[in-house]
């Protein structure tokens, strides 16, 4: 089984710090904070592209984190991995909210 990967930017001054990214199983998740909403996109990974991309928008970081947890669990079927993804999402939302 493929191991999940959590992307971590080097510092908050990096442009990449504005994005949350996670991949596991056959999906990739990308998150951003835009116009007062926490936005999450999921795409199915293909060799050079993402397909069947779906986007959600949430008013609170808690809802964003819950969706990351749910999608990660569906993707890898491992509660521990899903919880680690949710913890990474919670840490990211806290960093973004503090800016």
What pLDDT digit, counting tens, does each position of 38-93 carry?
A: 999 999 999 889 999 999 999 999 999 999 999 999 999 999 999 999 999 999 99
**What is the Cα–Cα distance from 23 to 98, expressed in whole angstroms?**
25
Confidence of residue 14 (pLDDT cuts 50, 70, 90): low
**pTM confidence score:** 0.84
- pLDDT at residue 2 is higher than 80: no
Lowest mean pLDDT across 16-20, 28-32, 61-65, 84-88? 16-20
**What is the Cα–Cα distance from 17 to 1, expressed in whole angstroms?**
28
**What is the Cα–Cα distance from 47 to 10, expressed in whole angstroms?**
26
Domain boundaries, the chain: 5-98
Confidence of residue 5 (pLDDT cuts 50, 70, 90): low
């Amino acid at each position: 089984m493929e191991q999940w990967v959590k992307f971590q930017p080097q510092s908050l001054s990096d442009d990449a710090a504005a994005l949350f990214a996670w991949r596991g199983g056959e999906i990739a998740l990308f998150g951003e904070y835009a116009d007062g909403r926490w936005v999450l996109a999921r795409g199915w990974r293909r060799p050079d592209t993402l397909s069947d991309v779906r986007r959600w928008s949430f008013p609170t970081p808690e809802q964003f984190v819950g969706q990351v947890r749910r999608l990660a669990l569906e993707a890898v079927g491992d509660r521990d991995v899903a919880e680690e993804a949710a913890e990474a999402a919670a840490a990211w939302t806290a960093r973004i909210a503090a800016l």
